[in-house]
Amino acid sequence: MKRIIKIITLLVAVSALWIGLLQTSVLPHSYTWLLPMYSIVSLGCYGLLMVGVGLMRFPTCPHEAVLLQQDVVEAKEFLKQRGVDVSGSD
């Protein structure tokens, strides 16, 4: 619930800033109308950056990789017993 309140507070603050810029002549009027689009594009770029950083910093888990390979072998054996072809060739 706290995260929702933070997000709503941020949206209200950004909306108030945008409306304030529309009412005053601080920025040219044509630029002010484009601010929501710029913020959406910026948010998308930030999201892509965070995904990229997360992928670069993704920890390797050699023990989990061994367990996963064992599970794959067990699954292939189980399917072979049931008569399913799991040779891997298309």
33's tokens: 């109308």
In a domain, 86, yes or no: no
pLDDT surpasses 90 at 14: no
In a domain, 90, yes or no: no
In a domain, 89, yes or no: no
Range of the domain at 71: 2-81
- Tracing tokens 């891997």 back to the chain, one arrives at 88
In a domain, 31, yes or no: yes
pTM over 0.75? The answer is: no
Q: For the chain, how many structural domains are there in total?
A: 1
d(CA 87, CA 75): 12
In a domain, 88, yes or no: no
Chain segment 51-90, per-residue pLDDT in tens: 988 888 877 778 888 999 999 999 999 999 988 888 765 4
In a domain, 74, yes or no: yes
